Amino acid sequence: MRSRNDFNSHAPVADPLMNDATRDKHAGMSRMHKDEHVIIIAPVGQDAEAMAVALDTEGFETQICHGLDENLRQFTDSAGALLMTEEALESAQGSLLLDALKAQPPWSELPLIILTSGGELRRAGLLDLAAAAAGTVTLLERPISTLTLLRSVQVALRSRRRQYQVRDLVTQLADLNQTLEDRVRERTVELFASNKKLKSEMGRRKGLEGEILAISDREQQRLGQELHDGLCQHLTAVAFMARSVALRLKNHRVIDAKDIEKIAQLVNDAATDTRNLSRALHRIDIDAAGFVAALEDLVDREIWKTPCRLEVKPSFHVENDAAAAQLYRIAREAVINANKHAKARQIVVELDRSGKEIVLRVIDDGVGFPDKPKLKQGLGSHIMDYRARLIGARLEIDSSKQGGTRVACYLPDVPLQSPRKGNGSQGNSRRKSLKH
């Protein structure tokens, strides 16, 4: 049976084997890394078996490689060190081995231990050949002792462990980079969506600003038209009839009492028109308590071409002042639009409650509209929708096949509180005062 020094078969033995105490000391150190393979390649004689026995005895995990072509991938995947003789490097399959070493990942420099028995020139050639493919190369000239072999393997494995640490760090860094890229990508998508939403909101608000200006111009035009067509004509008639009466008095002619009564009637009509315009301009202090009375006042105005009426269901109740103010403005805008465009016979303002929602409806029996998208581009519908969203409500505008238009605003109801004493009487008295 061959001894553990058979890997020195090409030269005489230089040093004796380690004694038991020394072997136990180094075996304890090496067994800490039994999961690291030492690949042994020695195609000549029994060198491979001898080196494997020596390393296995000291606690190293070894594997003898008989065919390079079927184990090349194992060099970079799980090998801790590569222990080989010069004959293996100079064999026909040596180029395959060097190619495998050159193909290692960036973090890997598989430690290479070469046993040689040549001179200085041959050692230099082997070193140049191996250094071109492996980063860490150790040349051991035969004959060598078992302790020298063990020391060289331990140093090689220690170097390999550092590479594994670098590999783990690189992997962790790559994972962190990927996670960071994923988060950046997600945040970019979120930012893009938020930016798009913000641009849309800015565009919408800019459009609303333009619509508000248009509404202001429209209201000014409407007010001027009403003043011109109503109040100014009445005042002109009063002035004409007063001048006629004055000429008659100047010429000592008889004055008809009916002319004076006509003047008084025209003055009263002018006062009525002025009062209606004033009420329309000053309805800005709507609160929950006066909401129904304000709507009653709205539908009772004499300026509407189409008759209007208010229907209040017993289940209706609103307590939020801000909501009441916006609901009033929505109803007013809907009534104005119906009077101008619906060509209806009547307009009904309904106050109702459906489930957990307060409902305001403005319904007319006019011509309706054929195209919803076209209607939604209108000025008034945008403003009403904006007011509804301000109080957390939703606005629906539709038209039936039979004609007519329905504007409905649905406001989520809040827990009802006990109504304050006197609200009903205050509302009734206010309604009466507004009528008079």
Other CB atoms within 10 Å distance of the CB of residue 207: 12
Other CB atoms within 10 Å distance of the CB of residue 420: 11
pTM of whole model > 0.85?
no
Kindly state whether residues 15 and 114 are assigned to the same domain. Answer: yes
Q: How big is the CA angle at 74 (ends 68 and 78), to the nearest 5 degrees?
A: 150
Give yes or no for residue 279 having a pLDDT over 70: no
Separation in Å, CA 252 to CA 244, 324, 436: 12, 60, 40
Kindly state whether residues 141 and 268 are assigned to the same domain. Answer: no
According to DSSP, residue 6 is labeled G
Look at residues 242, 274, 306 and tell me which one is the last residue of a structural domain.
274
Look at residues 230, 246, 274 and tell me which one is the last residue of a structural domain.
274
234-243, 355-364, 392-401, 426-435: range with lowest mean pLDDT: 426-435
- Domain assignment of residue 165, yes or no: yes
Give yes or no for residue 5 having a pLDDT over 90: no
Kindly state whether residues 267 and 315 are assigned to the same domain. Answer: no
Other CB atoms within 10 Å distance of the CB of residue 342: 23
Kindly state whether residues 322 and 247 are assigned to the same domain. Answer: no
- Domain assignment of residue 196, yes or no: no
Give yes or no for residue 435 having a pLDDT over 70: no
Per-residue model confidence (pLDDT) at position 68: 61
Amino acid code (one letter) for 255: I
Domains contained in the chain, number: 3
Q: Give me the residue label for tokens 């403003």.
A: 383
CATH number at residue 324: 3.30.565.10
Kindly state whether residues 29 and 158 are assigned to the same domain. Answer: yes
Query: Which residue from 35, 44, 54 is spatially nearest to 84, judged by alpha carbons?
Result: 44
- Domain assignment of residue 306, yes or no: yes
Kindly state whether residues 94 and 207 are assigned to the same domain. Answer: no
Give yes or no for residue 246 having a pLDDT over 60: yes
Kindly state whether residues 317 and 431 are assigned to the same domain. Answer: yes
Per-residue model confidence (pLDDT) at position 163: 87
| Owning domain of residue 419 | 285-435
- Domain assignment of residue 195, yes or no: no
Determine contact, residues 403/347, Cβ cutoff 8 Å. Answer: no
Kindly state whether residues 239 and 308 are assigned to the same domain. Answer: no
Kindly state whether residues 328 and 415 are assigned to the same domain. Answer: yes
- Domain assignment of residue 182, yes or no: no
Kindly state whether residues 172 and 98 are assigned to the same domain. Answer: yes
Per-residue model confidence (pLDDT) at position 266: 80
More confident residue, 173 or 272: 173
Per-residue pLDDT of 171-196, as tens digits, reads 999 999 999 999 999 999 999 999 99
Determine contact, residues 368/399, Cβ cutoff 8 Å. Answer: yes
N residues, the chain: 436
Per-residue pLDDT of 329-352, as tens digits, reads 999 889 988 888 888 889 999 999
CATH number at residue 170: 3.40.50.2300
- Domain assignment of residue 419, yes or no: yes
Determine contact, residues 350/313, Cβ cutoff 8 Å. Answer: yes
Residue 314 to residue 274: CA distance in whole angstroms = 34
